[in-house]
């Protein structure tokens, strides 16, 4: 994969907002009003975020074309995870309770993951399956490259 892009704090950055001041994960790239990052979570390696490049808290604060581009990008990342990893389910979430900066979580979930079928924020349901986690992590460069290509189109 080529050298990852560098994140520059947003021009409209709000002091104290971690998604204005930092990339919010491993930055894969940007497309217009949105950026895509991979979250560095050892228990959930195929965890991505689609983050607004504007500091807004609510989806309705965006103009219709920005909303459409964001949902198209969330859908494209979801499709890549489904095609490449064949997860049991992909979780989509936009909560913003802790960080009120508009972003979507796109998380590939597997029936063997430690928290399934509960949310990743709930308590574990079973022990971690290190072999399967390692196998999933080994696929991340391929998925990250596909997302980078997606963002370039």
pLDDT at 11: 62
End-to-end CA distance of the chain: 16
> DSSP string of 38-51?
E---TT-SSEEEEE
- Predicted confidence (pLDDT) at residue 7 exceeds the cutoff of 60: yes
DSSP state of 59: G
pLDDT at 30: 94
pLDDT at 81: 98
Q: Which domains does the chain have, with CATH numbers?
A: 18-152 (3.30.428.10)
- Is the separation of the CB atoms in 128 and 73 below 8 Å? no
Rounded mean pLDDT, 63-78: 96
pLDDT in tens, 79-115: 999 999 999 999 999 998 889 999 999 999 999 999 9
Rounded mean pLDDT, 131-153: 96
Task: Give the C-alpha separation, 94 to 106, whole Å.
Answer: 9
């Amino acid at each position: 994969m080529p050298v990852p892009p560098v994140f520059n704090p947003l021009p409209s950055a709000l002091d104290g907002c971690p998604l204005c001041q930092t990339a919010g994960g491993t930055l894969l790239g940007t497309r217009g009003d949105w950026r895509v990052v991979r979250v560095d979570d050892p228990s959930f390696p195929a965890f991505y975020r689609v983050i607004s490049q504007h500091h807004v808290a609510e989806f309705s604060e965006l103009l219709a074309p920005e909303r459409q581009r964001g949902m198209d990008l969330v859908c494209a990342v979801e499709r890549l995870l489904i095609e490449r990893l064949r997860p049991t389910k992909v979780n989509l979430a936009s909560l913003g309770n802790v960080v009120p900066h508009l972003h979507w979580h796109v998380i590939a979930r597997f029936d063997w993951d430690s928290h399934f079928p509960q949310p990743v924020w709930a308590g574990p349901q079973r022990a971690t399956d290190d072999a399967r986690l390692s196998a999933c992590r080994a696929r991340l460069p391929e998925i990250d490259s596909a997302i980078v290509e997606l963002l370039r189109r």
